[in-house]
Amino acid sequence: MSHSFDVIVAGVGGMGSAAAYQLAARGLRVLALEQHELGHSVGSSHGLTRIIRLAYFEDPSYVPLLRRAFALWRELEEGLEEPLLHITGGLDVGFAGSLVFEGSLRSCREHDLPHEVLDATALAARFPGWHPAPNAMAVFQPDAGFLTPERCILAYAARARLHGATIHTREKVLGYTASRGSVRVRTDRGEYEAAQLLLTAGPWMADLAPALQPLLTPERQVLGWFEIADHARFAPTAFPVFVLEAAQGIYYGFPEYGVPGFKIGRYHHRQERVHPDTMDRTVHPLDEAVLREAVARYFPDANGALQSSSACLFTNTPDEHFIIDRAPDTPEVLLVSPCSGHGFKFCSVIGEICADLVETGTTSHDIALFGLGRFSDRLR
């Protein structure tokens, strides 16, 4: 059966749900297709909490996007019984000359963000859950915190439906053909036609856009929640979200929220390249050891039993910046969301960018960093 829409969104996680809402709110006929249930736990948009921060060590050009993202998250949570965005402040901790510390400081200075620089003694005194290395240096930026990702997705999907979007769950996209300003999408339940297709499929992007296969590396990631001896030190009012560059790797973590325990992960956990459909989702003792190495050294008051854990996915690009661009030789298809493990905080503004690009072909947001042209020598 064929049905006609203005745009089809393939993948209704963080990016897809925000885009579906923004498109539908502008009056477009939207079909959003999700192969699992909304807010599922087998992709890249789950885990109870996700960091959002303005002091962006990855590149200062992200900061204007983050300012808009904060505003849009606040807009989304209006009228809800519980907030989606929780402000705790944020710490970017490293050492003089390190990527995380210097990059965060650069973003603060270039964009005139309020911030403080703390040495190891000041860091431990102000936030006693920390036992930093003696040479540690930190940037504290108050406009940071965490989002509740599953609830964000459900909220965006609900708003999209209120504006007339059609959302199908448990329907897998199998492929598509595009020509002369239209796209025909084939799923395991039918066929649909639209003027444009928006691919926001996260770790499944390479399956749906084979031209991207040389660029994308889905990677297994593990999060752990560790038993806390002194809960007051890890409460949201006392323990900011953080990124920590240490000898053992780059870690990120959260105060205790939602479930018992101190939550921590390490970027590029064990550097395991996987496919989302066959990834090992069991958390093994070696996974715990990777995380406990940092917990024991830097957060000893939370070095208790592993109370819970979760496996998720990064989808990494070669430079770990996003891709937001038209598919090569297929202008009807917009590629969005291989976000290298740091994309969820941007979902609100990327949804707006997607709607701009679908509706007018351009956006006022600066997305020059995310074009496919930077990988022209690697594309198929």
User: What is the rounded distance in angstroms from the CA atom of residue 62 to the CA atom of residue 362?
Assistant: 18
3-state secondary structure of 186: strand
Helical (H) or strand (E) element with 196: strand 191-199
User: What is the rounded distance in angstroms from the CA atom of residue 44 to the CA atom of residue 180?
Assistant: 33
The pLDDT of residue 1 is above 60:
no
The arithmetic mean of pLDDT across residues 274-284, rounded, is 97
Most distant pair of Cα atoms in the chain: their distance: 66
β-pairing verdict for 4-10 and 30-33: parallel
> What's the token pair of residue 126?
């102000």
Ordered by where they begin, the domains of the chain are 4-45+150-212+320-375 (3.50.50.60), 87-143+217-316 (3.30.9.10)
pTM equals 0.96
User: What is the rounded distance in angstroms from the CA atom of residue 274 to the CA atom of residue 272?
Assistant: 6
For residue range 247-257, what is the model confidence (pLDDT) as tens digits?
Answer: 999 999 999 99
The arithmetic mean of pLDDT across residues 61-75, rounded, is 98
User: What confidence score (pLDDT) does residue 2 get?
Assistant: 57
| Confidence bin at 380 (pLDDT 50/70/90) | low
3-state secondary structure of 119: strand
The pLDDT of residue 214 is above 90:
yes
3-state secondary structure of 336: strand
For residue range 177-203, what is the model confidence (pLDDT) as tens digits?
Answer: 998 899 999 999 999 999 999 999 999
Residues 112, 54 contacting (CB under 8 angstroms): no
Strand partners, 262: 226
User: What is the rounded distance in angstroms from the CA atom of residue 354 to the CA atom of residue 324?
Assistant: 8
The pLDDT of residue 302 is above 80:
yes
Mean residue pLDDT across the chain: 96
The residues that are catalytic are: 46, 49-50, 263, 268, 312, 345
Dihedral sign, Cα of residue 204, residue 154, residue 159, residue 146: negative
β-pairing verdict for 241-246 and 90-94: parallel
For residue range 308-352, what is the model confidence (pLDDT) as tens digits?
Answer: 999 999 999 999 999 999 999 899 999 998 899 999 999 999 999
User: What is the rounded distance in angstroms from the CA atom of residue 169 to the CA atom of residue 167?
Assistant: 7
For residue range 119-174, what is the model confidence (pLDDT) as tens digits?
Answer: 999 999 999 999 999 999 999 999 999 999 999 999 999 999 999 999 999 999 99
The arithmetic mean of pLDDT across residues 62-72, rounded, is 98
